[in-house]
Structure 1
Amino acid sequence: MPNAPVTSDQALLLDHQLCFALYSASLAMTKLYKPLLDELGLTYPQYLALLVLWERDGITVSELGDRLFLDSGTLTPLLKRLEAADLVSRLRDTTDERRVLIRLTAAGRALKNQARRIPGCVLQASHCSVDEARALTRQVKALREQLLA
């Protein structure tokens, strides 16, 4: 049974808002990533898309959208920019022309080697141990799942 809602003015203090803590942490994280990704010529959403493709190449646009929690209207321009940069190619599935497959190009695969240093830089900046970062990631993912349920 959930806890009773807090109704005092204390509940409306900005520093007591979980949403603000997550939002401001997200802004700080994006700010940290920017110079690291600028070196690779990527935006943060492009980096996220490549992370998915480095895990599993040749997925559909809808599978990528599911992994990133993005709709096709947001993904299409992102993928067009990655394609223009020769990092991915988009191909119609020969078995079902409604599906578009995304594949890494040689340049997209090679960029993975340059990106390998980024997680370590982020970990160092966070002053978290690997175990602490993994635990925090699990907590935030569990929160996301609870909110989506």
Structure 2
Amino acid sequence: MATIDLGDDPLDLDRQVCFALSVASRSVIGMYRPLLEPMGLTHPQYLVMLALWQSAPRTVHELSGVLRAEPATLSPMLKRLESIGYVTRTRGVPDERTLTVDLTDTGRKLRATAEQIPYRVVELLGMEVSELEHLHQVLGKVIAATDTAPERA
């Protein structure tokens, strides 16, 4: 096994992956806020809508898996999306524990407006699409590594 060299100060804040990811995440999500505001969406609600635009209807359990979010976290978002007319929530028959979420016509039509958001984000970031694709690929590796990493106490 190769020796890991973390330099003179392994606790230097600017060298911490968690710090860079945290700042980048807050900053990028902040860029979305004014883009989503005209649609009445928060960033987490936008992620739900993206999942539904990709494939609808979906159960809350399916959405939970795709979005890597707890069903209890999704519940208030889904209620809000229903109240503003973007989705419907339907209890399963005969299993009422299953809750299916589908897009309304308004929710489906909103996709056309939302299609402009990724273009605007690329413009605002001032980065090449290839750079963002590479970043996405690297973040995918980070996510996969955290999915398979053994938990340590």
Q: Same fold (TM over 0.5)?
A: yes
Cα separation, 2, equivalents of 1:22 and 1:94? 42
Cα separation, 1, equivalents of 2:130 and 2:94? 43
* Counterpart for residue 33 of structure 1: 32
* Counterpart for residue 4 of structure 1: 4
Residues 1:98 and 2:97 are matched in the alignment: yes
Q: Can you give the 5+ residue segments of structure 2 that lack an aligned partner in the other structure?
A: 149-153
Letter in 2 for 1:24: V
Residues 1:138 and 2:137 are matched in the alignment: yes
Cα separation, 1, equivalents of 2:3 and 2:90? 50
Question: In the TM superposition, what whole-angstrom CA distance separates every residue of 1:81-120 from its partner, at most 9, and x where no partner exists?
Answer: 0000110000122353321110000111111111111000
Cα separation, 2, equivalents of 1:39 and 1:3? 51
* Counterpart for residue 19 of structure 2: 20
Cα separation, 2, equivalents of 1:137 and 1:96? 38
Provide closer, same or farther for how the CA distance between residues 106 and 136 of structure 1 changes in structure 2, counting only shifts above 3 A: same
CA shift, 1:28, in A, is 0.5
Seq. identity, %: 38
Using the TM superposition, name which of 61-70 and 128-137 deviates more. Answer: 128-137
TM-score by length of 2: 0.91
* Counterpart for residue 148 of structure 1: 147
Letter in 2 for 1:4: I
Cα separation, 1, equivalents of 2:5 and 2:19? 18
Cα separation, 1, equivalents of 2:2 and 2:84? 49
Letter in 2 for 1:70: A
* Counterpart for residue 151 of structure 2: none
Letter in 1 for 2:37: D
CA shift, 1:5, in A, is 6.4
* Corresponding pairs, count: 148
* Counterpart for residue 73 of structure 2: 74
TM-score by length of 1: 0.93
Cα separation, 2, equivalents of 1:145 and 1:96? 33
Q: Can you give the 5+ residue segments of structure 1 that lack an aligned partner in the other structure?
A: none
Q: What is the CA RMSD across the aligned residues, in angstroms?
A: 1.5
Provide closer, same or farther for how the CA distance between residues 3 and 90 of structure 1 changes in structure 2, counting only shifts above 3 A: farther
